[in-house]
A and B are shown apart, each in its own frame.
Chain A
């Protein structure tokens, strides 16, 4: 377990929980990233929600950008998959989170924090599929 980073994981997780909690408390909304992004694709009348969603997405990119440029905290984001796999994976994530009404943040953090059984089922579903997919790609097919 040489890659295990429990302290930074707890601190980072706490910040994710804080952001989700504040978003609900202050704006009355669920910080589900797939829902926020998807809502930008089919904006409803009213308009102000579009700016709120857009601001959240911009913040998601600005946060890491600040840390990588203004602090000593190092991180990376390494994709090892081939181009066709990246495209298929992206399509599946987009399709699946839309059909299943949420992702790791909306169901996993916000839903579980509301003690939603529906979100627990969703979280167990995508976790199980993730475990099985990695079993197939890493251990049965020898890496993709």
Chain B
């Protein structure tokens, strides 16, 4: 049951990335290019994706986080790490740099595999190598 829920949630998530246009790195880069606001070239769509996402997710999260058990059984696996560390910020800065270079973050990169483009496949392979390498030396701890 939990596996079916995962498949359905992943599929809905993929619908969202596709419909919102975030599956296209050029839409993302159009948002990150706030420097084009003055000449009218900025695309604020990503902010609306975040807004729409938070509007739906916040009530569900606030309801769900007080539960002691997931609906399909098992514990509520919520992060309990609240530390603001240099590592957290450094990771964010490295991720943001890669994100700004091509326009892919992990979700859209995986969803875009549906198009079968070679560039997307190469990005995803490099991303997995980066994740695997970092985990191999314990940087996920």
Contacts and interface: CB of A to CB of B under 8 A. Distances in A.
Interface of A: 1, 3-6, 8-31, 33-34, 37-38, 41-42, 48, 51-53, 55-68, 73, 75-81, 83, 85-101, 103-105, 107-114, 116-118, 121-135, 137-139, 144
Interface of B: 2-27, 29-30, 32-36, 40-46, 48-65, 67, 69-72, 74-79, 81-84, 87-115, 117, 119-120, 122-135, 139-140
Nearest to B112: A77
A13 B49 contact: yes
21 contacts: A1-B41, A9-B20, A9-B21, A10-B49, A24-B60, A27-B70, A30-B77, A41-B128, A75-B21, A91-B127, A94-B134, A95-B98, A98-B140, A99-B91, A104-B107, A118-B82, A118-B88, A121-B89, A125-B96, A129-B92, A129-B100
B49 A128 contact: no
